[in-house]
Amino acid sequence: MRGPHNIWRLIRTGATLERTGAMGIVLEAFDAPAPLRIVARVLGWPFKWLGLKGDPSTPPVVRALTALGPAYIKFGQVLSTRPDVVGDEMATQMRVLQDKLPPFPVHIAKQSVRDELNIDPDVVFSSFSEPVAAASIAQVHKAVIAETGEEVAVKVLRPKIEKAFQKDVDAFYLAAKMVEIFSPGSRRLRPMDVIEHFEGVVLGELDLRLESSAAAEFSANTSGDAGFQLPKVKWALSGKRVMTLEWAEGANSGDIAAIDAAGHDRRVLGERVLQLFLNHALRDGYFHADMHQGNLKIAANGDIIAYDFGIMGRIDEYTRRVYAEILFGFIRRDYKRVAEVHFEAGYVPADQDVDEFARALRAVGEPIFGMDATRISMGRLLSYLFEVTERFGMETRTELILLQRTMVVVEGVARSLNPHINIWEVAQPIVEDYIKKSIGPIALLSDLGRTARILARFGPRLPELAEAALIQQATRHTDQPAQRPSKLQPFLWSMMGAGLMAIFLIGLDRL
C-alpha cells in the first residue's frame, strides 16, 4: 500500500500539525533543514483548514497526535524514547501521552469475545464490566468466570484497528523516505529503521496471542524473582483479538498516597523495580519494555505486579555483555574501557581515535557523577551520549532503542517511589554479578564448552565435509596454470583442531 496515494494522509497530518500549532515545534525539534521545512509547509499550510482541531487544553504536539488517532498516539509514545531524534523537550512532552481514548461500547466487546472464542460471554462470565481502561489499540474489562468465581481482566482489540494502523504506517514510511531525501544528515538516525521498529511493535500488539505468549515466557524467566508477580494467562479464554488474564489487585505504583497508606517501604520498592529490570535485561535478555507506572501495581504484601505485555524487549547475549561492560565502565568511571568496548563492538567507526572518544565520554560522565544523588539522571546520561555519538559518526543501534527507553522510564518510576535513590549504587551489584558470570573465567569455560558441544555434533561429518570441500577446491583450480595455496587449508586445520578440542573438553566434562 506504500506509494504516492499516501500523500493525502501526509497532507492531513501536515494540516493538523499546522492547525494545532505543532508544525513549527516539530521542525525545530528535528532541526529540519530548509528543503524539508519547505516541503512540510507545502503539505500543511495551504490545507490548514482540513486539519483536525484537537484538544486546545493539551500541548500542541500532544494535541495533534491525539487528534490524528491511535497510530499517531502510539508513534508518539515510541518516538518519545528517541531524544536523539526529537530532542529532550519534545521527548518529555510525548512521554505524557497516556494513550487514553474514548472506549467502544461493551456490547461490541462482548461480540468480539463471542466471535473470537466461539463462546457466549454472558454464560461464561457471571459479570462483565464496562471498560476499566481504554487505550489506542485495545480496552480492558473486569469480569468474573462463572464456573470458578475467579476475577479476570479481559483485553479486547478495538474494531477494525488492524486496517487503520496499517494505513497510517504506510504513510509513515513515505514520510521517512521524504525525510531521508530532503535531509541527508538524518540518515545517521535511520528514520526508515525507526518506522520499521515501530511497525514491529504495533504488529506484536495487534495479535494478542503473541502477547499471551510473551506473558508466559516472561513468567517462566522470572518465576524465582522475589517480590515480583505476573498475572497468569487464561489460555482457554484467549485468542488473536481477546486475551484473558488473572485480575491484578493492588495500588497503582504512581499512587504514592495509597502506597504510604498501605505501609509499604517506598525506598525498598524503588530499588526493587530498578534491580528487577536490570536482572531481566542482563540475566534473561528478555524484559518488559513498557514498565511505566500504569503497568505496575503494588500488591498488599509489597510485591511488584507487572502486566500489559504488548511491548517486550529482547537482546542477544553478545549485546548484553557489551551493554553491561559499558554500564560497568561508567559506574567505575573507567572511560578508556568504555571507549574500547564501543570500538570492539563496532559501534564507533574504526577510523576514529579511541583516546579522543574516551575523553569525550569523560566529559559526559564526570559532571553527572559530581551531582547530588537526587540529580543523577539516566536520561541526562543518554542525552549527553547522543551528542557524543553524533560527533564520532556512530549510527543508531536499533537493537538498543527499547532498552535505552525502558531504562529511562524505570528510572522515573524508581525516583517517584524514592526521590533520593542513587541509581548507580543500586545498579552496581546487579551489573557486577552479571559481569562475573558472563565475562570472567567461568564464562569463558562455559562458552568453550558450548562451542565444543556444537562442534561435536558435526564430528562424524568432519571427514565428509573436508573431502567435499577439497574436491570442490581442486575442481575450481583445475584449469588454472599455477597452483596457489588454498585458502581452505587454514579453515580445515582449524576445523580439525576445533574438533579435537571439542572431544577433549567433552571428555573432561564426562569425567
For residue 217, is pLDDT > 80? yes
Q: Show Cβ contacts of residue 262 under 8 Å, excluding neighbours closer than 6 positions.
A: 251, 298, 300
Largest CA distance in the chain: 89
For residue 485, is pLDDT > 50? no
Where is pLDDT greater, at 125 or 5?
Answer: 125
Partnered with residue 228 across adjacent β-strands are 304
What's the pLDDT at 303?
95
Tell me the mean pLDDT in the region 175-202.
74
Give the percent of the chain with pLDDT over 70: 75
* 3 state SS of 311: coil
State pLDDT tens for residues 389-409.
667 777 666 566 677 778 877
* Per-residue cell: 143: 469480569
Where is pLDDT greater, at 275 or 203?
Answer: 275
Q: How far is CA 465 from the centre of its chain?
A: 41
Rounded Cα gap, residues 482 and 292, in angstroms: 68
Where is pLDDT greater, at 167 or 500?
Answer: 167
Return mean pLDDT, the chain.
79
Tell me the mean pLDDT in the region 483-497.
47
Range in 186-195, 285-294, 483-492 with the lowest mean pLDDT: 483-492
Range in 43-47, 377-381, 409-413 with the lowest mean pLDDT: 377-381
For residue 233, is pLDDT > 70? yes
447 noted as active-site residue: no
Neighbours of 61 (CB within 10 A): 24
State pLDDT tens for residues 60-76.
888 888 888 777 887 77
Most confident of 35-49, 69-83, 243-257: 243-257
Q: What are the E-state strand segments in 166-295?
A: 228-229, 242-246, 251-252, 286-288
Where is pLDDT greater, at 500 or 379?
Answer: 379
Q: Which residue has the cell 495509597?
A: 258
For residue 210, is pLDDT > 90? yes
Where is pLDDT greater, at 236 or 180?
Answer: 236
For residue 343, is pLDDT > 70? yes
Neighbours of 5 (CB within 10 A): 11
For residue 183, is pLDDT > 90? no
Q: Show Cβ contacts of residue 506 under 8 Å, excluding neighbours closer than 6 positions.
A: 452, 453, 456
* Per-residue cell: 349: 567507526
Q: How confident is the model at residue 499 (pLDDT cuts 50, 70, 90)?
A: very low
For residue 447, is pLDDT > 70? no
Range in 127-131, 326-330, 465-469 with the lowest mean pLDDT: 465-469
Rounded to 5°, the CA angle 502-324-281 comes to 90
For residue 482, is pLDDT > 70? no
Residue 394 vs residues 80, 189, 324, 343, 391: alpha-carbon distances, Å? 20, 9, 19, 10, 8
Q: How far is CA 127 from the centre of its chain?
A: 36
Q: What DSSP line would sit under 145-165, residue for residue?
A: ETTT--EEEEEEEPTTHHHHH
State pLDDT tens for residues 77-90.
766 655 555 666 67
Output the CA torsion sign for 465, 466, 472, 473.
positive
* Per-residue cell: 444: 569463558
Give the percent of the chain with pLDDT over 90: 28
Where is pLDDT greater, at 33 or 487?
Answer: 33
State pLDDT tens for residues 150-177.
999 999 999 988 888 887 888 788 778 7
Residue 139 vs residues 75, 77, 169, 212, 237: alpha-carbon distances, Å? 18, 17, 21, 15, 16
- Helix locations, 223-316, DSSP H: 256-261, 266-278
- Burial group, residue 141, by CB count within 10 angstroms (0-12, 13-18, 19+): buried
Of these residues, 84, 225, 290, 308, which one is catalytic?
Answer: 290
Q: How many CA atoms lie within 13 A of 236 on its CB side?
A: 5
| Long-range own/partner contacts, residues 94-101 (CB < 8 A, 24 or more apart) | 94/61, 94/62, 94/65, 95/409, 96/62, 97/62, 97/65, 97/66, 97/73, 98/294, 99/73, 99/74, 99/135, 99/136, 100/134, 100/135, 101/70, 101/73, 101/134, 101/135, 101/136
| Element containing residue 132 per DSSP (H, E) | strand 125-134
Tell me the mean pLDDT in the region 138-154.
95
For residue 224, is pLDDT > 60? yes
For residue 488, is pLDDT > 60? no
Q: How confident is the model at residue 19 (pLDDT cuts 50, 70, 90)?
A: confident
Tell me the mean pLDDT in the region 190-203.
77
Range in 79-88, 244-253, 274-283, 360-369 with the lowest mean pLDDT: 79-88
* 3 state SS of 479: coil
**Assign residue 227 a region: left if phi > 0, alpha if psi is -120 to 50, beta otherwise?**
left
State pLDDT tens for residues 288-319.
988 888 889 999 999 999 998 988 888 888 88
Where is pLDDT greater, at 468 or 5?
Answer: 468
What's the pLDDT at 23?
79
Rounded Cα gap, residues 420 and 324, in angstroms: 24
* Per-residue cell: 162: 488492524
For residue 365, is pLDDT > 90? no
Q: For the whole model, what pTM was predicted?
A: 0.71
Residue 178 vs residues 222, 294, 346: alpha-carbon distances, Å? 43, 35, 29
Rounded Cα gap, residues 171 and 190, in angstroms: 17
* 3 state SS of 343: helix
